[in-house]
């Protein structure tokens, strides 16, 4: 599942994000969602989240639901 719908992304789930400085390379960072930063119900590039590690990026895929 990709992370373009806000309703699919919830705090506590494991996701892969792409950080702003990795958008050209597409390098993904795996982590657990701490909070959601995108307010709109969907976003074409992925919902922006903050991971528990403090990293911020857009969700590219949801790895496992809570």
- Given a contact cutoff of 8 angstroms between Cβ atoms, the answer to whether 9 and 52 are in contact is no
List residues bridging with 42 in a β-sheet: 5
Residue 1 lies in a domain: no
Model pTM score: 0.92
Residue at 31 is within a domain: yes
Q: What percent of the chain has pLDDT over 70?
A: 97
Average the pLDDT over 19-24 and give the result.
96
Residue 64: per-residue pLDDT: 82
Domain that holds residue 54: 6-64
Which domain CATH number covers 36?
2.30.30
SS3 assignment, position 20: helix
- In this structure, the number of other CB atoms found within 10 A of the CB of residue 4 comes to 18
Domain count, the chain: 1
- Mean of the per-residue pLDDT values for the chain? 95
State the first-to-last Cα distance of the chain, in angstroms, to the nearest integer.
14
pLDDT tens, residue by residue, 27-55: 999 999 999 999 999 999 999 999 999 99
């Amino acid at each position: 599942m990709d992370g373009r719908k806000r309703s699919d992304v919830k705090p506590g789930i494991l996701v892969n994000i792409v950080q702003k400085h990795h958008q050209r390379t597409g390098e993904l960072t795996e982590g657990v969602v701490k909070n959601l930063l995108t307010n709109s119900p969907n976003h074409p590039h992925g919902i922006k989240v903050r991971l528990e590690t403090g990293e911020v990026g857009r969700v590219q895929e949801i790895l496992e639901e809570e």
